[in-house]
Amino acid sequence: MISRNRSGFTLVEMFIAVVIIGMLAGIAIPKFGNLSEQAKTQSCRHNMRSLAGALQMYYASTGHYPHANEGHRWRKFSAIEEYLQNWEQLKCPSCDTHYRYRITGRDYDNFSIRGWNRNCLNNHGMYVNGMPNW
């Protein structure tokens, strides 16, 4: 009588296990990669919401937006430092660039916000006339 005293795994069993793990990783890794992009998008939009909130606080206490009546060009957020002290640390997590705002409307009574980078603008959206476009 042949007694097969098996302990441990055969080479074929190990090979099958490695193939299965490889296939599972192939499914999971692209998903995690996508999650990381989604997290960056959410984080970027959260930054823009904070900046919009600071602009609205500025408006609520002064009756106008910073540098209103000085044209519609895009500006840095230094003017709202009093309302959002960490404005300088707020950067798009994907491209590491700051945001800028622009006063809009004929009466300078609205604003837009965007990341100062084309990829950020295309992938994360912007505020247009006080509202997010995403």
Q: Quick one: 68 or 115, whose CB is closer to Zn ion? A: 115
Q: Quick one: 68 or 126, whose CB is closer to Zn ion? A: 126
Q: How far is the CB of 90 from Zn ion (least distance, A)?
A: 10
Q: Quick one: 59 or 127, whose CB is closer to Zn ion? A: 127
- Cα gap 56→61, rounded to integer Å: 9
Q: Quick one: 102 or 124, whose CB is closer to Zn ion? A: 124
Bridge partners of 103, per DSSP, are 111
Q: How far is the CB of 104 from Zn ion (least distance, A)?
A: 20
CB atoms within 10 A of CB 91: 18
- Cα gap 93→49, rounded to integer Å: 15
Q: How far is the CB of 80 from Zn ion (least distance, A)?
A: 19
- Cα gap 1→4, rounded to integer Å: 10
Residues that bind Zn ion in the complex, under the rule CB under 5 A? 44, 92, 115, 120, 124
Alpha-carbon distances, residue 33 vs 26, 37, 40, 93 (angstroms): 11, 7, 11, 15
Q: How far is the CB of 36 from Zn ion (least distance, A)?
A: 14
